[in-house]
Amino acid sequence: MGVKAMLPSHELGFYALVVTCAVLYSSSGIFEASRDSMNRKAFRDGIKPGWHYFGRKMDVADFEWVMWFTSFRNVIIFTLSGHVLFAKVCSMTVPQHRAVVYMLYGMLAVLGSMGLAYLMIILSHCLILYSVALSKQKWLCYVAGLCCLASIKLEPFSSWQSGFVTGAFDLQDVLFYGGSGFTIMRCMSFALESSERQEGIFSIFDLLKYNFYLPFFFFGPVMTFDQFHSQVSTRDLRRKEDEMRNIRVHALLHVGAIIAVDIFFHFFYILTLPSDLKFVNRLSDWALAGLAYSNLVYDWVKAAVMFGVINTIARLDHLDPPQPPKCITMLYVFAETHFDRGINDWLCKYVYDHIGENHDNVMKELMATIATFAVTTLWLGPCEIVYIWSVFNCFGLNFELWVQKFFQWEPLSKLEAKMSEATSRRIRAVFGAANFWAIVLYNILALNSLEFALLVTRRLLVTGFPVSTLSIWFITYCGVQLIKERERILAMEEEKSDKPKAE
């Protein structure tokens, strides 16, 4: 039953006040723990000198974030600025050949940063999957693509390929596995789209233009071949109204987010604290819950900044890239939980929706989610923690459908029909709050460690019961109510904007 009734203003204000107070209280606990542990020997590797004049050190536990904005920052700015410059010149002079310019610049950038051996490895994967695409057999494209992906993610094939790349610098492994993995996903998209094409097959030149578009090459997101090919082939490069203004606004927001994270890392050591379980175990239940939640928020911010910067450049190139990830604060259903919208779109199109169809049948949904998370496990790199993460998230996605089917059972559906909309909304929010914490607990497995996830689970559900458990559940319930109200308002605004078009 859809919720259309607006929340009363006093109820909305109460929920907002409760959530705000809870966040501030939890943050104060994390701040005190960060301040008191600044000079602990156990945190020496994760906390380095920062703002000396303010007496603050900085959390540097995230290797990627630190490298992107220190030693690798100038390389990123120089390389992407060169792409933007060449793209602008090309779009003004020979817009019909801009895809070729993107490809040549991308190949030169890959060659200059990773060397000839790496470029040859990438080209060999492209050639293998192009050759398989000539058969126009989808099952063969899947098999060949997954085998190529396994060769990057599984030993000894992974080490054998990386051994060809000589030299050493801080992000070599990140660029090697990132570029190789995304290349194979793009080549699979090309092969699968080619197998469905009625008139022949796309050329290998189309594949190279698609794969070596530099902004997407190393870090994604994956844009499916059909979307990229149609957008990059157009010669009409006129911009929509206020498009450049929106690009500038988004660019400023990303800069602001980077500055905000830098400030945050000087006062809240959310990445380093979980490394010392004995210390973390002394935190209050509220501070521990906030620490787990803030780790997910940071991972979302990191993904949003990375994909946001890349997407801004893609929009300057007149492309419409995959959207950034949905804010973790707005998630209370497993179906919307993803940090990489490009990979999620790829999986949905070629695996999840292909097998699950309309996602109404329990058995088809089970098979679709198992297949999807099997591919995801291979993509992330099979290991114990990834297996556990995949099983739990696969269960969560299916459990949502089981609960939905259960409440569609005639006796229960009739009972809900007799309820007021407010009562139905509150009951659904109770289940949504439980689901929200299931999402948090399942995903900190991959972000931190199994031990930290078990500690948080035990403290919140066992030793914290009933006071901490029920109070945190109630706070989350209030948050879900606010999220539902925001979704309702956005749906109403979208409906109003669509009415003139329909008329």
pLDDT digits (tens, 9 = 90+) for 174-187: 889 999 999 999 99
Tokens 């996602």 label which residue?
Answer: 359
| Structure confidence at residue 81 (pLDDT) | 87
| 264: number of Cβ within 10 Å | 17
Supply φ then ψ for residue 268, to 5 degrees: -130, 115
Q: How many CA atoms lie within 13 A of 449 on its CB side?
A: 10
- Say whether pTM exceeds 0.85: yes
CA–CA separation, 470 and 242 (whole Å): 47
Rounded distance between C-alpha atoms, residue 206 and residue 220, angstroms:
18
Span of 144-158, 287-301, 329-343, 452-466 with lowest mean pLDDT: 329-343
Cα–Cα distances in angstroms (integers) from residue 362 to residues 397, 398, 399, in the given order: 11, 8, 10
C-alpha angle 314-320-322 in degrees, rounded to nearest 5 = 90
- Answer yes or no: is pLDDT of 502 > 70: no
Residue 378 CB partners (closer than 8 Å, separation 6+): 146, 149, 150, 153
pLDDT band, residue 337 (cuts 50/70/90): confident
Cβ atoms of residues 339 and 325 within 8 Å: yes
Q: Tell whether the model's pLDDT for residue 497 goes beyond 80.
A: no
How much is the mean pLDDT over the chain?
88
CB 478 within 8 A of CB 19: yes
Q: Residue 22: CA atoms inside 13 Å, Cβ hemisphere, count?
A: 23
Backbone angles phi, psi at 92, to 5 degrees: -85, -30
Least confident of 5-9, 161-165, 204-208, 418-422: 5-9
How high is the pLDDT of residue 455?
Answer: 94
Chain position carrying tokens 């948090």: 440
pLDDT of residue 437: 92
Under 8 Å CB-to-CB from 286, ≥6 apart: which residues? 22, 25, 26, 29, 468, 472
Helix axes 467-502, 9-36, angle to 10 degrees: 130
Q: What pLDDT is attached to residue 4?
A: 47
Q: Report residue 499's pLDDT band, with 50, 70 and 90 as the boundaries.
A: low
Model pLDDT for residues 61-100, shown as the tens digit of each residue: 988 888 888 767 777 888 888 888 888 888 788 878 888 9
